[in-house]
C-alpha cells in the first residue's frame, strides 16, 4: 500500500446516543462525517500539523441531542460542514398551489443520512421531507485533496425550484486570513450587524473594521461583528482560509460546482444575537444564488429548477496546502 493511499476506518459508534461517525484518512488529511447529524462533516484535520479546520461544537457531539426536522440552526448545532438545501433561511415556497414552509438552513442538515456501501470513500444520501428528491454526496481523498461529488435527483412527478449552498463553518483564530482571488474587489451585502451597511448595497473588499484593520484578517473573538456578503462571477472560482499558527491554507475550488456565486459569512462574535453562545467562525460558501432565501431567489429569477425524473451533478474540491496561498 502506498503512503498516499486512502485508509477507510471502520464505523465507530459513541455512547450515549449511538452517534455514528465515519472516518477517512491518508498521510495528509483525516476527515470525519456524522450521518446522524445531517451527514455533517465534523472534522477536517491536517495530518501534517494536526490543526483542525472545521469549527467544533460547544460540547461533545455525543452529548448533543440529535436535531429534529425543523430545528433552528443555532448552538449547539452550528459547527462543522453542512449542506443547505433547498433553502438556507426559512421561507414559504408555493408548489402546485400549496404553501410549503421550508425550515431554517433547509431540509437536509437536520435529517439522518443513509450510509451506502463504503470502499475508499464516504458515500451518504438523504431523501426530501416535503419535496421529492434524493441528494447523494460522495467524499474521496487524493493526497491533500478532498473531493466532494453531489448528485441531486428529482424522484417525484413535479418539477420544483431550489437553491444549494455548502455551509462549512471554519475554525479561526486571530490573525488568520480569508484568501480570495485578486478580482474580488466588490461584494454585495446580505446581512450585517453594522447598521451603516445597507442590505443589497455594495461594499469594497476587504471591508475596513472600526479598529482600522480589514475584515479579511481575523480579529479577536470579542469584536461583536457579523457580515454576510456575496461575490458574483469571480473569474477564478476559489476561496480559502490561511491558518497562521500552522502556516497552512485550506482552499475551496468550486470551478466544477456549476455556480457563479460565492457567499462569505464572517462572524466575529456578532451572532447569535442572544448570548452567551456568540460564535467565532468564517464560512466560505459556493452557492447557486445571491440570497439565503429560496423565495427571494425565485423572485429574482436566480433559483434552480429540476424537472421530474431529472438528475444533476456537481463537485467541490478542498485542498490543504502549506503556507499562505495566493489565489
Write out the chain's pLDDT in tens, 327 residues.
454 566 665 556 555 567 888 999 999 999 999 999 999 999 999 999 999 999 999 998 988 999 999 999 999 999 999 999 999 999 999 999 999 999 999 999 999 999 986 778 999 999 999 999 999 999 999 999 999 999 999 999 999 999 999 999 999 999 999 999 999 999 999 999 988 888 989 999 998 877 778 889 999 877 888 999 999 999 999 999 999 999 999 999 999 999 999 999 999 988 887 766 678 999 999 999 999 999 999 999 999 999 999 999 999 999 999 999 999
Nearest to 207 by CA among 223, 308, 222: 223
C-alpha cell, 267: 462572524
73-76: long-range contacts, CB 8 A cutoff, minimum separation 24: 73/104, 73/105, 73/109, 74/272, 74/277, 75/272, 75/277, 75/279, 76/277
Please give the CATH number for the structural domain made up of 7-322.
2.70.98.10
Segments making up each domain of the chain, as ranges:
7-322
Backbone angles phi, psi at 298, to 5 degrees: -65, -45
Cα dihedral across residues 151, 131, 103, 233: positive or negative: positive
- The answer to whether residues 173 and 244 touch, using CB atoms and an 8 Å cutoff, is yes
Cα 286 to the center of its chain, rounded Å: 8
Amino acid at each position: 500500500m502506498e503512503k498516499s493511499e486512502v485508509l477507510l476506518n471502520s464505523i465507530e459508534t459513541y455512547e450515549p446516543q449511538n452517534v455514528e461517525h465515519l472516518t477517512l484518512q491518508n498521510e495528509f488529511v483525516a476527515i470525519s462525517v456524522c450521518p446522524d447529524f445531517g451527514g455533517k462533516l465534523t472534522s477536517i484535520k491536517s495530518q501534517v500539523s494536526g490543526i483542525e479546520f472545521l469549527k467544533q461544537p460547544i460540547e461533545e457531539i455525543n452529548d448533543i441531542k440529535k436535531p429534529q426536522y425543523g430545528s433552528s440552526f443555532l448552538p449547539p448545532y452550528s459547527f462543522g460542514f453542512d449542506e443547505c438545501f433547498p433553502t438556507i433561511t426559512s421561507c414559504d415556497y408555493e408548489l402546485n398551489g400549496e404553501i410549503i414552509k421550508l425550515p431554517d438552513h433547509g431540509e437536509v442538515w437536520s435529517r439522518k443520512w443513509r450510509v451506502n456501501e463504503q470502499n475508499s470513500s464516504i458515500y451518504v444520501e438523504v431523501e426530501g421531507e416535503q419535496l421529492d428528491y434524493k441528494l447523494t454526496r460522495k467524499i474521496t481523498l487524493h493526497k491533500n485533496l478532498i473531493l466532494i461529488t453531489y448528485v441531486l435527483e428529482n424522484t417525484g412527478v413535479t418539477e420544483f425550484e431550489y437553491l444549494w449552498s455548502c455551509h462549512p463553518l471554519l475554525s479561526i483564530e486571530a490573525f488568520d486570513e480569508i484568501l480570495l482571488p485578486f478580482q474580488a474587489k466588490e461584494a454585495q451585502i446580505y446581512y450585517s450587524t453594522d447598521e451603516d451597511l445597507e442590505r443589497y448595497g455594495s461594499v469594497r473588499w476587504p471591508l475596513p473594521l472600526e479598529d482600522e484593520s480589514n475584515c479579511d484578517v481575523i480579529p479577536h473573538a470579542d469584536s461583536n461583528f457579523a457580515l454576510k456578503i456575496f461575490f458574483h462571477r469571480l473569474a477564478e472560482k476559489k476561496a480559502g482560509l490561511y491558518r497562521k499558527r500552522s502556516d497552512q491554507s485550506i482552499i475551496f475550488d468550486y470551478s466544477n460546482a456549476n455556480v457563479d456565486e460565492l457567499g462569505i459569512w464572517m462572524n466575529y462574535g456578532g451572532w447569535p444575537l442572544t448570548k452567551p453562545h456568540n460564535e467565532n467562525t468564517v464560512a466560505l460558501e459556493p452557492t447557486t444564488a445571491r440570497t439565503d432565501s429560496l423565495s427571494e431567489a425565485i423572485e429574482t429569477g436566480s433559483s434552480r429548477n429540476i424537472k421530474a425524473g431529472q438528475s444533476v451533478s456537481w463537485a467541490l474540491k478542498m485542498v490543504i496546502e502549506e503556507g499562505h496561498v495566493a489565489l
